[in-house]
Structures are given as C-alpha cells and as structure tokens.
Homo-oligomer: A and B are copies of this chain.
Amino acid sequence: MNEEESKSIMYVQTHGVDEPTKSATPFFLAAAAAAMDIEAAIYFTMDGATLLKKGVAEGVNIKRGEGGESLRFFMDQAQELGVKFYVCQPSLDLHGLSMDDLVDGVEMIGGAAFNSMALDADLVITF
C-alpha cells in the first residue's frame, strides 16, 4: 500500500445513539484506514455528536459473531491508531451539548473549516 501512504480520508458520521446499527462503521473503517497509513478523521455532525457524549459509547453494543463489543471499543481503537475526531459546532447546539460533555480528544470546527478540510481530503465518505 505504499502508494497510499500520503492519502487522507475524512469520514462523516451523521447517525447518533438512536441508530446503533449505524454507529460503529465509521470508527471501524477509519481505524482500518489508519492501520493502512492513511490519514483518517471523523467529522461528527447532525445526530453524530450524540455518540461523543461521555458515557454513551459504553452503553451501545455492536454485535459481532456470537457476542459483541461496546461502541467504546471501536472508538478507542480508532483514537489509538491516530484517527482525529472533529465535531460540528451547530450539531452540539442541536442536541444541547457543550464541549465539556464530550469524550476527550475531540476538536470543534465550523462549517467553513469543514468545507476546506473536506476539499483537501483525497476522499470524503459520509455515513
């Protein structure tokens, strides 16, 4: 995968805690990308911000084979592999959240900054 060493992917997560079957994929794919030496980030907007609230991911079970993992497992794995987390400022308002309510390691950005980052990425995949 040498030719992809300098590539970047921005994943966008629009789904929140009320759609658990749509919660884990961006973390999973971003972690896979980071493991491939692709620069990976997740931008949480719309309902996505609700997944970042402290204590929430621990309570979401993602089925795998007979058992499962909590969403927190996928979130930690992504962050440990270097995936950056960004949250959309208006989506915090939408859900009555402030930055203090969120897990560590999240950066808040506005719409213009998101558009610039998205144009600069090699690929944007919105979920």
Residues of A whose CB lies within 8 Å of any CB of B are: 1, 4, 7, 9, 12, 14-15, 21-22, 24-25, 28-29, 31-33, 35-36, 38, 45-47, 62-65, 88, 90-91, 93-96, 110-112, 114-116, 118-119, 122-127
- Residues of B with C-beta under 8 A to A22: 14, 46-47
Q: Given A35-B112, A127-B46, is A25 in contact with B90 using a C-beta cutoff of 8 Å?
A: yes
- Residues of B with C-beta under 8 A to A126: 125-127
Interchain CB contact under 8 A, B9 and A119: yes
Interchain CB contact under 8 A, B123 and A119: yes
Interchain CB contact under 8 A, B62 and A115: no
Number of copies: 3
Interchain CB contact under 8 A, A4 and B116: yes
Report Cα–Cα, A35/B46, bound state, in Å: 21
Min CB gap A117→B, angstroms: 11
Report Cα–Cα, A26/B127, bound state, in Å: 14
Known pairs A38-B115, A119-B122; list 13 more (Cβ under 8 Å).
Answer: A4-B116, A12-B127, A14-B127, A21-B47, A25-B90, A28-B90, A32-B112, A36-B116, A38-B119, A64-B90, A64-B93, A124-B125, A126-B127
